[in-house]
């Protein structure tokens, strides 16, 4: 198996992919025959590239670095200097990969991971097509391609990019990645619902009143300022992470948890979403200066010279609905922002208040927590000792408290799925299309009306829809 990482010296590869691969190597979980090819423009020998990765790794994770295991890991890695705009470099890469097959007289699985900026996708697809890397083996099942979000900037650009992709690769070869789907709590959602009869039957409008998907960060845009200003919070987080989390928690539980059935159930939810009033049910904000953790922080427009007059959103709150009869009338909130009071990623389900016993109203809340720590919380109402008053008491499950193991990084989990050919935690073409169809009218409204985001102080908790 050969994993080729395009953009091997970029931020994603350095901070996420190679550290995840190294950690899997230390655990003995990488395929024994795995070879890793790093493709980038910088001039490195194999040894220099591994030294470069080691320096980066130690800056981030010095406490888990081991020189001996790192050297063993480096035996799997080779470096290929190439330019994504140069067709000849793709031809040379093809020759290198074909030689590896000739040496063992067998066609190895090939994985092409595009750890590059989305604006480089078209030329990369073209380089792959012209050099016929997608058909380097006789049977297409031996070749896979991995693409990151955001895949497109709007519905039209999504169609253009996807058409280029499916012209080269068959759908079964394409792994559209959203790393949130690799988080343990997210992978547990469907299993949790299937294995606990308490939540199995009435997971719909009969018992659930409201669903909130919250993705908050206390950090600003940092070094991603120029990239972020082109995409904004809607494309960068809501269209991907937010809608994926929502579709998982709302999807109809399939009779078996296969990739096809999970993805079809999620697609049904995404296709059902709508917004009553685009102007009133969507808040668009941008952080100003403020205080976080007792320290002053800059406004978004002060983060970089090119942002001085930017109207890019850093906060989104969408109040949505579903056309499905199962979810009719349930309030759906998608909330995501940067430079907020604290870091939080969660899915919260508010169960309907009912009074089955006179004078004792019942109301519960279920929270799937992804950040800052992963776990599940169920709020119950109990009688206070010595009183008839009810008080909310949380029943808390934390992965690290109960299992006492280090949770696998999301990328570790997803890389293993790619190696195994398991697509259950990857996004289908239909899901992405439905996601863009949902948010595209909002983007079009902003563009046509020249609307401006509300400025909120850094350190805010949230902005409220009236």
**Rounded CA gap, 302 and 219, in Å?**
14
At which residue do the structure tokens 């888990």 appear? 64
**Which parts of 315-386 are beta strand (E)?**
315-322, 331-337, 344-351, 354-357, 360-362, 365-371, 375-383
Is residue 10 a known part of a binding site?
yes
From the list 241, 304, 311, 317, the catalytic residue is: 241
Q: Is 183 labeled as ligand-binding?
A: yes
Q: Is 83 annotated as a binding residue?
A: yes
**CB neighbours of residue 398 within 10 Å:** 13
CA torsion angle 252 255 258 264 (round to 10): -30
Within 8 A by CB and 6+ apart from 231, the residues are 150, 153
Q: Does the annotation flag 25 for ligand binding?
A: no
Task: Write down the residue that tokens 């009810």 correspond to.
Answer: 390
Residue 9, annotated ligand binder? yes
Give the pairing of strands 331-337 and 273-274. unpaired
d(CA 33, CA 106): 12
Q: How far apart are CA 405 and CA 375, in angstroms?
A: 13
Q: Which two tokens stand for residue 293?
A: 């953790």
Q: Is 13 annotated as a binding residue?
A: yes
Residue ranges of the alpha helices (H) in 11-86? 11-12, 18-26, 46-61, 67-74
Annotated binding-site residue? 55: no
CA distances from 54 to 22, 318, 410 (A): 10, 42, 21
End-to-end alpha carbon distance in the chain: 54
Tell whether residue 185 is among the known ligand binding residues. Answer: no
**Residue 26 is labelled as binding a ligand:** no
217 marked as part of a ligand binding site: yes
Cα separation, 332 vs 266, whole angstroms: 15
- 41 among annotated binding-site residues: yes
11 known member of a binding site: yes
Report d(CA 312, CA 339) in Å as an integer. Answer: 14
* 241 is a catalytic site residue: yes
432 is in an annotated binding site: no
Binding residues: 7-14, 41, 83-84, 149, 179, 183, 217, 236, 338, 343
Binding residues for NADP(+): 7-14, 41, 83-84, 149
Question: What residues are labeled active site?
Answer: 241
Binding residues for substrate: 179, 183, 217, 236, 338, 343
């Amino acid at each position: 198996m050969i994993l080729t990482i395009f953009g091997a010296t970029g931020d994603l590869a350095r901070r996420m992919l190679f550290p995840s691969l190294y950690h899997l190597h230390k655990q003995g979980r990488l395929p024994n025959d795995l070879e890793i090819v790093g493709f980038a423009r910088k001039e490195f020998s194999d040894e220099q590239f591994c030294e470069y990765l080691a320096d980066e790794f130690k800056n981030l994770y010095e406490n888990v670095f081991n020189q001996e295991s790192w050297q063993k890991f480096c035996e799997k890695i080779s470096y290929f200097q190439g330019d994504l705009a140069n067709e000849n470099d793709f031809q040379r890469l093809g020759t290198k990969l074909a030689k590896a097959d000739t040496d063992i007289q067998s066609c190895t699985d090939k994985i092409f991971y595009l750890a590059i900026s989305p604006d480089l996708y078209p030329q990369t697809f073209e380089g792959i097509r012209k050099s016929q890397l997608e058909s380097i083996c006789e049977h297409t099942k031996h070749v896979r391609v991995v693409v990151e979000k955001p895949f497109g900037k709007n519905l039209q650009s999504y169609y253009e990019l996807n058409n280029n992709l499916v012209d080269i690769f068959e759908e079964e070869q394409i792994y559209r990645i959203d790393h949130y789907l690799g988080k343990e709590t997210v992978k547990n959602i469907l299993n949790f619902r299937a294995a606990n009869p308490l939540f199995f039957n009435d997971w719909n409008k009969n018992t659930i009143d409201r669903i909130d998907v919250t993705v908050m960060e206390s950090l600003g845009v940092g070094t991603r300022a120029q990239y972020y200003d082109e995409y904004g919070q809607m494309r960068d987080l809501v269209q991907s992470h937010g809608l994926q989390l929502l579709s998982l928690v709302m999807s109809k539980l399939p009779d078996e948890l296969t990739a096809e059935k999970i993805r079809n159930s999620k697609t049904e939810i995404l296709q059902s979403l709508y917004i009553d009033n685009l102007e009133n049910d969507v808040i668009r904000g941008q952080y100003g200066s403020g205080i976080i953790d007792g320290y002053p922080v800059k406004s978004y427009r002060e983060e970089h010279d090119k942002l001085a007059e930017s109207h890019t959103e850093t906060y989104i709150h969408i109040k949505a609905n579903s056309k499905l009869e199962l979810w009719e009338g349930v309030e759906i909130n998608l909330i995501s922002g940067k430079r907020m009071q604290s870091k939080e990623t969660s899915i919260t389900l508010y169960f309907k208040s009912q009074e089955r016993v006179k004078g004792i109203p019942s109301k519960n809340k279920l929270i799937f927590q992804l950040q800052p720590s992963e776990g599940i919380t169920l709020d119950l109402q109990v009688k206070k000792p010595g009183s008839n008053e009810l008080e909310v008491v949380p029943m808390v499950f934390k992965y690290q408290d109960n299992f006492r193991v280090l949770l696998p990084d999301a990328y570790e989990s997803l890389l293993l799925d790619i190696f195994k050919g398991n697509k259950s935690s990857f996004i289908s073409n239909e899901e992405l299309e439905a996601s863009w169809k949902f948010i595209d009218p909002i983007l079009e409204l902003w563009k046509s009306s020249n609307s401006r985001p509300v400025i909120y102080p850094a350190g805010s908790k949230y902005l409220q829809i009236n």
